[in-house]
Chain A
Amino acid sequence: MLKTFRIGGIHPPENKLSAGKKISVLAVPKQVIIPLGQHIGAPAQAVVAKGDVVKVGTLLAKAGGFVSANIHSSVSGKVAKIDGAVDASGYKRPAVFIDVEGDEWEESIDRSDTLVKECTLSAKEIIAKIAEAGVVGMGGATFPTQVKLSPPPGNKAEVVIINGVECEPYLTADHELMMEKGEEILVGVTLLMKAMDTKRAVIGIENNKRDAIKHLTELSASFPGIEIMPLKMKYPQGGEKQLIDAVLRRQVKSGALPITAGALVQNVGTVFAVYEAVQKNKPLIERVVTVTGKSVANPSNLLVRIGTPITQLLEAVGGVPEDTGKIIGGGPMMGKALVSTEVPITKGSSGILLLTKAESVRHEYSDCIRCAKCVDVCPMGLNPSLLMSATEHSNWDMAEKNFIFDCIECGSCTFTCPAYRPLLDYIRLGKGTVMGIIKSRKSTK
């Protein structure tokens, strides 16, 4: 019996169109746009100015606070300007524009392919190196990794859980990474185990990636303490709390950090970035991105430099199809619809998905028929229909009493609703408002 999380979940069609496609390296673009706010927390502060010459790996911006991350140049060339650029949020945010010249890398970076297994650094030194490299959560959440590796005192991680689940339909970047860089990932896991002083690690992989499970299980024989756990296919198995529930049978309490359940969760891509940062002195400057869609000529997994405008990725897969309605950064359940193709790839861009017009248009919605299908599928055990109703009527009291702040915004409710109600749209609004009310209540106490 495969393990899985115990409450809710849906089974969207997989559409893994780019499965099995080997990672191909995308050419360096002519200009990159590197936003200063690619992570959760304070945006980074620029340390370069217009006209500065940079190489691959040069520090562009320093972390702007405790919860923040460094940003490095992914190309070599000259800084053209530091200006506002439209990013995935739809709003203009400050970004560093670099005109590319050649492909020179910083000398400290080890560019060879040889596996470096040993590490003599202490836990503190490992975390410091991760912080320096600007590693953030690559599953899409972009939480600064060094902050996660430094939990508040009193919390100890018993297990390091690696998220190899990739439950979003269409995306295959993590799958390919596990197939091609399996050993590097396992070394990365040992580094994390050392950093958190734990003896046990579990890599959770959904059962639709049999080859990855087999491959990593073979490799993990030479890595003591690391276990590969196949998990039942169900969305959102890759959600942090759901993953902990599946692997450890423990449910994180409402409002608490996952570390309180004794687990540290990291995405497979993040683990690979950790390996590169600690063993190869390479900061986070590139990532694997799945470019896919039903009408796309050549769905692929590309290795892309951070800051590449997505027009280049779209050309590489055969251009934008005629019937494209939406371009989504990420997966179809939790990704953001991009406003134009001028948006750059950032640290959290796990995929670019092109949906056809037919798939993009939403149905008109009707009143709630109280079928309770949304209640059945909500992985956090909430009543989405009630929460949307509370938000529509600005009844923040009722929203708070029904735990609207526990929502992980996975979208299962909206996916399921037969009346096509935009449940998550309203719940997101209500969640923000209620969390603001709670915050102001705490600060005035």
Chain B
Amino acid sequence: MENNSLYISPSPHIHGGDSISRNMYGVLIALIPAFLVSLYFFGLGSLIVTANSIIFCAFFEYVIAKYILKRKPTLYDGSAILTGALLAFNLPSNLPVWIIAIGALAAIGIGKMSFGGLGNNIFNPALTGRIFLLISFPAQMTTWPVPKAFPMTYVDAQTGATVLSQMKIMAKSGTAVDLPNYGNMLFGNMGGSLGEICAIALLLGFVYLLAKKIITWHIPVAILGTVFVFTGIMWLVNPVHYVNPIYHLLSGGLLLGAIFMATDYVTSPVTKKGMIIYGVGIGVLTTLIRLFGSYPEGMSFAIFIMNGVTPLINVFCKPKRFGGK
């Protein structure tokens, strides 16, 4: 009766429709508000850096997959594009193109493909790229343009100090410094990397990710909560050296890292309990580096270190079993 024979397979026979690309593009959509703000404050530089980062990441992934690993390139799943976008948001908007290319190669080549492609890497690829650049090109990576309205400058942008560098001076020497008001920090009128300046834009992205069930609240809340408590205690103990916790929450890459980088699927733990431990670890490490270390920003290293601890967390934090302890 049927000239085309029936399909057979083991159950289940329906699928919920979720896919890797849906999740990756969802995160990209969540990053749009931050991108728009960066376009406003850094103008041409922001556009060039973001575009180049994405293009280079996609290019390297395609070439490495096809010619070195000899397997089918899977650019359509959007993860290379996402890595490109996140890498860009971690860079200052006056970074030259050749440095961006090296960063993309480090991110995709070392951070992702050398481990075996998506799903097999231990460290967040965008973070791998950023740290590689930070250590290789410390001068270019730590001079940030001053935010203006739609500047048409790129490498030649006027640079200035950022909140974090001011906070570091205060922590080391105890001299009072000029800190921007909360309004500027919320709306992005402060120096920093492309994606980290506007708290409101990032929080909008967070709400979108939660609504689309792409991430859960556990990691970001654990990180932010830990930072708040730890820096709060230090501020109460010694307000001369340390700023209040709200400044910490709104400055640097903390929000960007907590919401978008630390929550990367591949490099974060699989159980809720594990995620909280991971988040607390990141919070503690970030605060230690920010307050007592020599770098102004500790977020990247904190996440990077905790990525390495994730497999161990996964061994000890098993999901809650039905009928078990």
Question: Which residues of A line the B interface, CB within 8 A?
Answer: 7, 10, 12, 90, 169, 241, 245, 251-254, 256, 311, 320, 324-328, 332-341, 355, 357, 359-363, 366-373, 375, 378-383, 385, 402-403, 406, 409, 411, 414-420, 422, 424-425, 428
User: Cα distance A326–B8 when bound, in Å?
Assistant: 7
A362 touches B9 (CB 8 A): yes
B13 touches A337 (CB 8 A): yes
User: Cα distance A335–B267 when bound, in Å?
Assistant: 35
B266 touches A370 (CB 8 A): yes
B322 touches A7 (CB 8 A): yes
Q: Which of B14, B118, B323 contacts A251 (CB 8 A)?
A: B323
A361 touches B7 (CB 8 A): yes
Residues of A within 8 A of B321 (CB): 254, 380-382, 403, 406
**Contacts A403-B324, A415-B16, A418-B20 given; 6 further ones with Cβ under 8 A?**
A359-B13, A371-B23, A381-B321, A415-B12, A415-B14, A428-B10
User: Cα distance A245–B19 when bound, in Å?
Assistant: 31
Residues of B within 8 A of A253 (CB): 323-324
Residues of A within 8 A of B74 (CB): 366
A12 touches B16 (CB 8 A): yes
Question: Which residues of B line the A interface, CB within 8 A?
Answer: 1-2, 6-16, 18-20, 22-23, 74, 77, 116-120, 265-271, 318-324
A369 touches B118 (CB 8 A): yes
User: Cα distance A411–B16 when bound, in Å?
Assistant: 11
Residues of B within 8 A of A428 (CB): 10
A12 touches B7 (CB 8 A): no
Q: Which of A254, A369, A385, A406 contacts B20 (CB 8 A)?
A: A369
A381 touches B319 (CB 8 A): yes
B2 touches A10 (CB 8 A): no
Residues of B within 8 A of A419 (CB): 20, 119
Residue of B nearest to A419 (CB): B20
B77 touches A372 (CB 8 A): no
Residues of B within 8 A of A367 (CB): 116-120
B322 touches A360 (CB 8 A): no
User: Cα distance A169–B11 when bound, in Å?
Assistant: 14
Residue of B nearest to A378 (CB): B319
Residue of A nearest to B8 (CB): A337
Residues of A within 8 A of B15 (CB): 362-363, 414-415, 420
Residue of B2, B23, B271, B319 most packed against chain A (CB within 10 A) = B319
Q: How far is the CB of A353 from chain B (nearest CB, A)?
A: 8
When A332-B12, A379-B322, A381-B322 are in contact, do A370 and B265 touch as well, CB less than 8 Å? Answer: yes
B6 touches A371 (CB 8 A): no
Residues of B within 8 A of A90 (CB): 8
Residue of B nearest to A417 (CB): B18
A418 touches B23 (CB 8 A): yes
Is the contact region of chain A dominated by helix, strand, or loop, or is it mixed?
Answer: loop
Which 6 interchain pairs have the tightest Cβ spacing? A411-B12, A367-B119, A372-B270, A381-B321, A251-B323, A371-B265
Q: How far is the CB of A433 from chain B (nearest CB, A)?
A: 15
B318 touches A411 (CB 8 A): no
A366 touches B320 (CB 8 A): no
B1 touches A241 (CB 8 A): no
Q: Which of B2, B7, B77 contacts A360 (CB 8 A)?
A: B7
B14 touches A169 (CB 8 A): yes
User: Cα distance A328–B12 when bound, in Å?
Assistant: 10
A335 touches B320 (CB 8 A): no
Residues of B within 8 A of A415 (CB): 12, 14-16
Residue of B nearest to A235 (CB): B12
Residue of B nearest to A333 (CB): B12
Q: How far is the CB of A60 from chain B (nearest CB, A)?
A: 29
User: Cα distance A368–B121 when bound, in Å?
Assistant: 11
Q: How far is the CB of A341 from chain B (nearest CB, A)?
A: 7
Q: Which of A336, A366, A403 contacts B11 (CB 8 A)?
A: A336
Residues of B within 8 A of A380 (CB): 321-322
User: Cα distance A355–B74 when bound, in Å?
Assistant: 29
Residues of B within 8 A of A339 (CB): 6, 8
User: Cα distance A382–B318 when bound, in Å?
Assistant: 8
Residues of A within 8 A of B11 (CB): 332-337, 409, 411, 424
User: Cα distance A134–B242 when bound, in Å?
Assistant: 78
20 sample A-B contacts, Cβ–Cβ < 8 Å, listed by A number:
A7-B322, A241-B323, A252-B323, A320-B2, A334-B12, A337-B11, A339-B8, A367-B117, A367-B119, A369-B119, A369-B266, A370-B266, A370-B267, A371-B23, A375-B270, A383-B270, A383-B319, A402-B318, A403-B321, A416-B16
Residues of B within 8 A of A383 (CB): 270, 318-319
Residues of B within 8 A of A371 (CB): 23, 265
Residues of A within 8 A of B267 (CB): 370
Residues of A within 8 A of B23 (CB): 371, 418
Q: How far is the CB of A317 from chain B (nearest CB, A)?
A: 15
Residues of B within 8 A of A341 (CB): 1-2
B118 touches A414 (CB 8 A): no
A381 touches B324 (CB 8 A): yes
User: Cα distance A328–B9 when bound, in Å?
Assistant: 10
Residues of B within 8 A of A417 (CB): 18
User: Cα distance A325–B269 when bound, in Å?
Assistant: 39
User: Cα distance A409–B11 when bound, in Å?
Assistant: 9
A375 touches B6 (CB 8 A): no
Residues of A within 8 A of B322 (CB): 7, 241, 245, 251-252, 254, 379-381, 406
Residues of A within 8 A of B18 (CB): 373, 416-418
Q: Which of B6, B20, B318 contacts A325 (CB 8 A)?
A: B6
Residue of B nearest to A314 (CB): B1
B12 touches A425 (CB 8 A): no
Residue of B nearest to A13 (CB): B14
Residue of B6, B74, B268, B320 most packed against chain A (CB within 10 A) = B6
User: Cα distance A333–B318 when bound, in Å?
Assistant: 26
Residues of B within 8 A of A252 (CB): 322-323
Q: How far is the CB of A126 from chain B (nearest CB, A)?
A: 31
User: Cα distance A361–B4 when bound, in Å?
Assistant: 14
When A366-B118, A370-B265, A418-B22 are in contact, do A326 and B13 touch as well, CB less than 8 Å? Answer: yes
Residues of A within 8 A of B16 (CB): 10, 12, 415-416
Residue of B nearest to A335 (CB): B11
When A320-B2, A337-B13, A369-B119 are in contact, do A381 and B270 touch as well, CB less than 8 Å? Answer: no
B12 touches A381 (CB 8 A): no
Residues of A within 8 A of B12 (CB): 332-334, 411, 414-415, 424
User: Cα distance A204–B145 when bound, in Å?
Assistant: 64
User: Cα distance A414–B265 when bound, in Å?
Assistant: 18
Q: Which of B19, B116, B324 contacts A420 (CB 8 A)?
A: B19
User: Cα distance A256–B267 when bound, in Å?
Assistant: 36
Residue of B nearest to A362 (CB): B9
Residues of B within 8 A of A12 (CB): 14, 16
Residue of B nearest to A411 (CB): B12
